[in-house]
Amino acid sequence: MKYHVEAWDILQNLFEVKQINNHVLHFAAEFSDELNYTWVKQVVNLLADAFPLIRCGFKDTYPHRPVWVDYGYTSEQMVSLIETEDSSFAVQKFLYQELNLEKGPQMKIGVIREGKTDTICVLMNHMLCDAAGFKEILYKLATTYTCLENQKQIQIGSMIEDRSVRQILKACSLRDRMKIYCSKAQLNPHGDQKFDFEGDLSNPFIEIRKISRQQFLLLKSYAKNHQASVNDIMMTALLRVLFRRFGDTASLPCAIDLRRFLPEHKAAGACNLMSNLCCYVGPDLGDSFESTLFKVKKQMDVQKNDLGCIKNIALLEKLFTGFPYKIAYDLLKKYFSNPPVAFTNIGILDKNRLVFGSTKMMDAYMTGSVKYIPNFQVSLTTFDNQATLCVNLYGTQNDRKIIIGFLDDLMRELQSID
């Protein structure tokens, strides 16, 4: 069986080809006790029937359009039980794995068991979905597991009904579509900031910082008191730390989920529907956190509901529907560029939907792909009002020291808010 490769799948593959980042999204969750490993495997088989792309390999047929080829993998190849005396090390080792794009599978799950407690780790190919799509997959895993425990009837609907960007455009009126195509891209007037990384392809790592529930609730309260969002707060802190490091300001890209423009904010399948907003506050950040926040909020409020953020992916779709594949791919490969410093707010992991039966989830986080130098991205996820910041890189120990220093500075900036 073969499946269509969407324009966003191709772009995500180019991120690896152009050495921007690898393909892997990561999720980890700690439980208070053991999961039923047999049920986990049953759930993955059911998911694979609903979302068969996880069983596939990517067949590059350049100069013709590539295809996803179903190789019929089961949970035997996708799920593993790892018993260990050091779960922290085992989790890191599992998360740092690559997925085999050509041979598949495109998802792997590790149940890391130390004593009587489990941690579940999930790797997902970013070509198949963005973070929002990945969350929906995780929720389906959890719901199906709970159904097995409760001996209820199980049915996972198809997750490949529509994976294209066209579903966004179909939801827009003709007038809105004209606004999208006539909108102007925001330019960065100050050039790109870049970290002086050395890079090490043999050494991927994920540097993590936890924001406690108490501190995160204070941040939420501060945001509410200033009619701002937590995202505004994080962007403000990042801009101030970046200014101290580089001595100037630049646009800071922030990922935005385009599902907000769909009915009920839901896509018809697991896919990539992301774009970027760019926050540029001018050469002067202001003297205080509050003054920078005012500038950030003003910028972000204007952009959040602006249809212009759809333009880039709409043009991507037009490129691959309007031109022969070889021409479209070669143009994209030649002209696509990526901002070297960025932020992504993956958002809330809903504790009420991430319920694996009676097994209590204690903590969870998701993070994006591992970057190649000089690219640098901070990601944020929250679970039960606990937040996790991550930076992922193929880098040396010196690179890791730079990232440690940056995240420590970012944590101090957030702790200074009162």
Tell me what pLDDT residue 185 has: 60
pLDDT tens-digit series, residues 317-339: 999 999 999 999 999 999 998 88
pLDDT over threshold 60, residue 128:
yes
What does DSSP say about strands 376-383 and 341-349: parallel, antiparallel, or unpaired? parallel
What tens digit of pLDDT does each residue of 256-272 get?
Answer: 999 999 999 999 999 99
Give the DSSP H/E element, type plus range, for residue 45. Answer: helix 37-50
**Residue 281: pLDDT over 50:** yes
pLDDT band at 184 (very low <50, low <70, confident <90, very high): confident
| Residue type (1 letter), 154 | I
Q: Which two tokens stand for residue 223?
A: 């945001």
Cβ(13)–Cβ(68) below 8 Å: no
pLDDT of residue 298: 94
The pLDDT of 195-213, averaged and rounded, is 97
Pairing between strand 24-31 and 117-125? antiparallel
Residue 300's identity, in one-letter code, is: M
Q: Which of 313, 36, 309, 303 is nearest to 151 (CA)?
A: 36
Give just the sign of the alpha carbon dihedral 236, 237, 243, 246: negative
**∠ CA 353-377-90, rounded to 5°:** 60
Q: How far is CA 40 from CA 76, 122, 154, 360, in A?
A: 11, 12, 14, 15
Q: Report the pLDDT averaged over residues 115-141.
A: 98
Q: In what order do the strands lie in the sheet with 204-211?
A: 204-211, 386-394, 376-383, 341-349, 252-257, 274-279
Q: Compute CA distances 212 → 154, 209, 231, 342, 391, whole Å.
A: 36, 10, 17, 23, 18
Q: What is the pLDDT of residues 23-79, one digit of tens each?
A: 999 999 999 999 999 999 999 999 999 999 999 999 999 999 999 999 999 999 999
pLDDT at 85 over 90: yes
Q: CA–CA separation, 115 vs 21, rounded Å? A: 35
pLDDT band for position 190 (cuts 50, 70, 90) = very low
Cα 15 to Cα 20: distance, rounded to the nearest angstrom:
5
Evaluate if residue 417 carries a pLDDT over 50: yes
For residues 133-141, average pLDDT = 98
User: For residues 310 and 168, is the Cβ–Cβ distance under 8 A?
Assistant: yes
| Ordered domains of the chain (ranges, CATH) | 2-149 (3.30.559.10), 187-307+337-415 (3.30.559.30)
In percent, how much of the chain has pLDDT > 70?
98
Helix (H, G, I), strand (E, B) or coil at 156: coil
Per-residue pLDDT band for 153 (boundaries 50, 70, 90) equals confident
Cross-strand bridge partners of residue 276 = 255
Give percent of the chain above pLDDT 90: 90
In angstroms, the Cα distances linking 208 to 64, 85, 324, 343 are 41, 22, 43, 15
Is the N-terminal amide bond of 66 cis, ω within 30° of 0?
no
Model pLDDT, residue 115: 96
368/347 Cα distance (integer angstroms): 12
Report H helices in 105-159. Answer: 131-149
Q: Which residue has the tokens 């191709």?
A: 10
pTM over 0.85: yes
- Residue 187's pLDDT is what? 45
Q: Are strands 79-83 and 107-114 parallel, antiparallel or unpaired?
A: parallel
- Residues in a beta bridge with 123: 26, 108
Cβ pair 79, 118 in contact under 8 A: no
